[in-house]
């Protein structure tokens, strides 16, 4: 059963099926349990406008308490600051793939419409130096290696990684690496090549072998699960050589069994699961099923292992982190701000999934097109007209690529995206409230 939802300005409240009343203050990132009396105040049409909170503390009616709470700005909550430097580079070391996943966001075959077997390492070095030169000592810089399938050219990952590590020492910058791979090419040679880099790994697999083989076949039509699971086994046997290991699964109307995938993946000693909805999918029914499936795995995880198990699921971990940090997420991601993407021709784009979109190119080599980048610098929640959405500071305005793929415009949201996001944020907030004892707001005692 869905919870009942009420909203007053920046406060949203909902009644869980079990009867508990939870409220969330959008600007202050405050989660609180509220009284039945305050819950009733949400439906009043005449909420008085009050400005002097001090004089109201002694005798607050539920309506004025709600208004006062809405008007309070917590001094301890701040906006996310991505800074003015690029701190994450995604690099397509190849733009070819050995699989043919049905929903591939990289042009359907890993090429983005521009197949390239290998990036030029020599052309990439000056780009890395260019961006790392702009950082101050002590700052962090992360690399995400993508493709196509990046393990078709692991020597590039090693070469670029070693170069970045040499700059890390010289500049006192903390460098980290992540590789996003289909897992089918992970073997001992790859492990040896990665020595000293300790990359984190995101292994893409969409469920148990029967399901995964249908949606992620090899180019010859055979399933890819057997090799991917062998790859995962190699990773887990060489745990010390790697950072965090995540399994990433994509769901859409052809594969909606998130629960089955979660149960299957639980047998592996990985650090977490990133279950996402296909960025191009806008089927309403599929969206609803995905939401319900995500709620079910949240319940399974929380029942089995409380907060730590729930936070192995990336979405819930992200919301918990933002609420704990008390930092308003005004940008869903760093696209065009703190994150840029280099394709296999060393061209620069604002997002790894927009690599094929010529209009989105923002540079080549070490030349950045500042005119193209300038419009991307404003906070996304403003650019995407999310100012009235209660979930804006946890969502950050959503994924530009997803918006573009579903509505044709990077700043226009599809209703399925927002429904999904808000539903799952609701769910995360409910669990958050269960795990954090403080912060109760009952109106009458004005715990604001």
Part of the chain binding ligand SF4 (CB under 6 A), chosen from 156-164, 168-176, 311-319, 383-391:
383-391
Of the two residues 34 and 353, which places its CB atom closer to ligand SF4 in the complex?
353
Euclidean distance between CA atoms 22 and 416, whole angstroms: 24
Residue 164's nearest CA partner among 152, 155, 174, 154 is: 174
Part of the chain binding ligand SF4 (CB under 6 A), chosen from 48-56, 206-214, 264-272, 379-387:
379-387
Interacting residue with ligand SF4 among 124, 255, 421, 430 (CB under 6 A): 421
Of the two residues 105 and 214, which places its CB atom closer to ligand SF4 in the complex?
105
Of the two residues 34 and 333, which places its CB atom closer to ligand SF4 in the complex?
333
Interacting residue with ligand SF4 among 175, 180, 391, 429 (CB under 6 A): 391
Q: Examine residue 26 and tell whether it contacts ligand SF4 (CB under 6 A).
A: no
Of the two residues 71 and 338, which places its CB atom closer to ligand SF4 in the complex?
338
Query: Helix 400-407 and helix 415-435: axis angle, to 10°?
Result: 140
Work out how close the CB of 413 gets to ligand SF4 at its nearest, in angstroms, rounded to a whole number.
5
Residue 179 forms beta bridges with which residues?
A: 145, 201
Strand order in the sheet with 361-364: 272-277, 245-251, 200-204, 174-181, 140-146, 88-92, 339-342, 347-349, 361-364, 367-368
Beta-carbon count within 10 A of 14 CB: 21
Strands 272-277 and 30-33: unpaired
* Sequence-ordered list of residues with C-beta below 8 angstroms from that of 115, at least 6 positions apart, any chain: 95, 96, 109
Q: Which two tokens stand for residue 383?
A: 């650019």
Of the two residues 40 and 79, which places its CB atom closer to ligand SF4 in the complex?
79
Of the two residues 151 and 391, which places its CB atom closer to ligand SF4 in the complex?
391
Work out how close the CB of 398 gets to ligand SF4 at its nearest, in angstroms, rounded to a whole number.
3
Q: Examine residue 384 and tell whether it contacts ligand SF4 (CB under 6 A).
A: yes
Q: Examine residue 32 and tell whether it contacts ligand SF4 (CB under 6 A).
A: no
Part of the chain binding ligand SF4 (CB under 6 A), chosen from 111-119, 260-268, 391-399, 436-444:
391-399
Strands 4-8 and 11-15: antiparallel
Q: Examine residue 399 and tell whether it contacts ligand SF4 (CB under 6 A).
A: yes
Work out how close the CB of 414 gets to ligand SF4 at its nearest, in angstroms, rounded to a whole number.
9
Euclidean distance between CA atoms 271 and 378, whole angstroms: 34
Q: Examine residue 11 and tell whether it contacts ligand SF4 (CB under 6 A).
A: no
Instruction: Decide if 180 contacts 142 (C-beta within 8 A).
Output: no
Q: Examine residue 422 and tell whether it contacts ligand SF4 (CB under 6 A).
A: yes
Euclidean distance between CA atoms 397 and 121, whole angstroms: 35
Q: Examine residue 398 and tell whether it contacts ligand SF4 (CB under 6 A).
A: yes
Q: Examine residue 336 and tell whether it contacts ligand SF4 (CB under 6 A).
A: no
Euclidean distance between CA atoms 266 and 118, whole angstroms: 35
Of the two residues 216 and 337, which places its CB atom closer to ligand SF4 in the complex?
337
Interacting residue with ligand SF4 among 110, 397, 426, 443 (CB under 6 A): 397
Q: Examine residue 335 and tell whether it contacts ligand SF4 (CB under 6 A).
A: yes
Q: What angle do CA 74, 35, 323 make, to 5 degrees?
A: 35
Q: Examine residue 41 and tell whether it contacts ligand SF4 (CB under 6 A).
A: no
* Sequence-ordered list of residues with C-beta below 8 angstroms from that of 94, at least 6 positions apart, any chain: 110, 116, 117, 118, 119, 147, 148, 149, 150, 152, 153, 156, 344
Q: Examine residue 86 and tell whether it contacts ligand SF4 (CB under 6 A).
A: no
Euclidean distance between CA atoms 323 and 295, whole angstroms: 19
Of the two residues 135 and 400, which places its CB atom closer to ligand SF4 in the complex?
400
Euclidean distance between CA atoms 408 and 398, whole angstroms: 14
Q: What angle do CA 181, 185, 188 make, to 5 degrees?
A: 115
Q: Examine residue 106 and tell whether it contacts ligand SF4 (CB under 6 A).
A: no
Of the two residues 227 and 384, which places its CB atom closer to ligand SF4 in the complex?
384
Alpha carbon 309 to its chain centroid, in Å, reads 18
Residue 140's nearest CA partner among 89, 184, 93 is: 89
Span between the terminal Cα atoms of the chain, in Å? 31
Interacting residue with ligand SF4 among 60, 246, 400, 424 (CB under 6 A): 400
Q: Examine residue 379 and tell whether it contacts ligand SF4 (CB under 6 A).
A: no
Over the window 337 to 376, marking each residue x when it contacts ligand SF4 by CB under 6 A and - when it does not, the resulting string is --x-----------xxx-----------------------
Q: Which residues bind ligand SF4 (CB under 6 A)?
A: 332-333, 335, 339, 351-353, 381, 384, 386, 389, 391-392, 395, 397-402, 413, 418, 421-422
């Amino acid at each position: 059963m869905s919870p009942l939802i009420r909203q007053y300005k920046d406060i949203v409240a909902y009644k869980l099926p079990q009867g508990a009343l939870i409220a969330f203050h959008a600007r202050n990132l405050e989660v609180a349990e509220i009284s039945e009396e305050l819950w009733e105040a949400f439906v009043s049409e005449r909420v008085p406008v009050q400005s002097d909170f001090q004089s109201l503390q002694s005798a607050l009616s539920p309506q004025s308490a709600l208004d006062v709470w809405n008007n309070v700005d917590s001094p301890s909550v701040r906006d996310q600051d991505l800074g003015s430097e690029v701190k994450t580079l995604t690099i397509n070391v190849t733009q070819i793939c050995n699989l043919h996943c049905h929903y591939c966001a990289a042009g359907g075959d890993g090429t983005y419409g521009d197949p390239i077997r290998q990036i030029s390492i020599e052309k990439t070095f000056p780009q890395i130096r260019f961006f790392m030169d702009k950082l101050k000592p002590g700052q962090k810089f992360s690399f995400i290696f993508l493709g196509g399938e990046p393990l078709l050219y692991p020597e590039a990952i090693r070469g670029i990684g070693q170069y970045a590590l040499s700059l890390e020492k010289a500049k006192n910058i903390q460098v980290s690496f992540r590789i996003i791979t289909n897992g089918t090419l992970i073997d001992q040679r790859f492990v040896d090549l990665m020595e000293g880099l300790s990359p984190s790994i995101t292994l893409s697999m969409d469920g148990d072998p029967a399901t995964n083989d249908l949606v992620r076949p090899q180019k010859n039509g055979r399933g890819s699960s057997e090799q991917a699971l062998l790859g995962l086994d190699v990773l887990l046997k060489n745990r010390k050589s790697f950072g965090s290991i995540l399994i990433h699964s994509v769901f859409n109307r052809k594969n909606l069994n998130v629960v089955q995938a979660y149960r299957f993946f639980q047998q592996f000693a990985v650090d977490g699961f990133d279950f996402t909805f296909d960025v191009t999918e806008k089927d309403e029914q599929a969206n609803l099923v995905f939401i319900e499936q995500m709620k079910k795995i949240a319940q399974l995880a929380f029942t089995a292992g409380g907060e730590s198990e729930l936070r192995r699921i990336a979405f819930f971990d992200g919301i918990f982190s933002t609420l704990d940090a008390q930092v308003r997420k005004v940008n869903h991601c760093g696209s065009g701000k703190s994150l840029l993407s280099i394709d296999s021709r060393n061209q620069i784009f604002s997002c790894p999934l927009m690599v094929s979109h010529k209009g989105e190119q923002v540079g080549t080599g070490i030349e950045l097109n500042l005119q193209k980048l300038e419009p991307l610098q404003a906070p996304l929640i403003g650019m995407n007209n999310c100012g009235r959405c209660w979930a804006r500071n946890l969502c950050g305005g959503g994924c530009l690529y997803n918006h573009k793929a579903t509505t044709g415009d990077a700043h226009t949201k599809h209703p399925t995206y927002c429904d999904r996001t808000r539903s799952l944020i609701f769910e995360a907030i409910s669990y958050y409230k269960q795990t954090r004892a403080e912060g109760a707001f009952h109106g009458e005692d004005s715990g604001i």
